[in-house]
Amino acid sequence: MQQHPTATVAVNLHKGESIMADWNPWQTLEALRREINHVFDENGSRSEPFFRTAFLPGRAARRYPLINLYEDKDAVYVEALAPGVDQSTLNLSVQGNTLSIAGEKRRVAGNVQPEAFHRSERATGKFVRHIELPVEVDENKVQAEYKHGLLHVTLPKAEKAKPKQIAVQVS
């Protein structure tokens, strides 16, 4: 293993005492790298570019739509918060263990020219969101409903993903 340079730092304590401590800048950088990786891991795959997520003016790119994902013994459920999305542009697909939601949130301002805005905080444009599902689902039985800006998706579990009850023989 390669040795990295360290610096010796004098730490002054009260009453004029001091101690010497080694400081390794590479350890500090390694800790920073781990922290940055942790942030990316919490916020999704590093293989998916940020640019595939919805554009939100004045903020970093975020995943859109925001979702809740939960399951019971029979199905996986996705609730996607997508107010203002043109229902005719919604496109859902399931491939393997991934649900993809695509659509478009159109500009509502009608014929107002972009240069006339003093403030524009509502995100518009096309979006794609890929959601990794916790279990295998039956792609042929997926149902979706868009109502009051909320997209409800029901993904029935594949038979092999459902829990099996096993009887225990008592002797």
CB 64 within 8 A of CB 54: yes
The mean predicted confidence, pLDDT, of the chain is 78
- Who contacts 44 (Cβ-Cβ below 8 Å, separation ≥6)? 63
- Who contacts 2 (Cβ-Cβ below 8 Å, separation ≥6)? none
Strands 18-23 and 7-12: antiparallel
pLDDT tens digits, one per residue of 86-131: 899 999 999 989 999 999 988 776 788 878 888 877 778 888 999 9
Of the chain, the percentage scoring pLDDT greater than 90 comes to 37
Q: Which structural domain, as residue segments, surrounds residue 90?
A: 52-160
pLDDT at 56 over 60: no
Query: Are both 97 and 130 inside the same structural domain?
Result: yes
* pTM for the predicted model, two decimal places: 0.59
In DSSP terms, 105 is beta-bridged to 85, 125
In angstroms, rounded to a whole number, what is the distance separating the alpha carbons of residues 75 and 127? 26
pLDDT at 134 over 90: yes
Query: Are both 17 and 87 inside the same structural domain?
Result: no
CA angle 120-125-130, nearest 5°? 125
Q: At 159, phi and psi to the nearest 5? A: -55, -40
Query: Are both 61 and 30 inside the same structural domain?
Result: no
Is position 150 within any domain? yes
Total number of domains constituting the chain: 2
CATH number of the domain within which 71 lies: 2.60.40.790
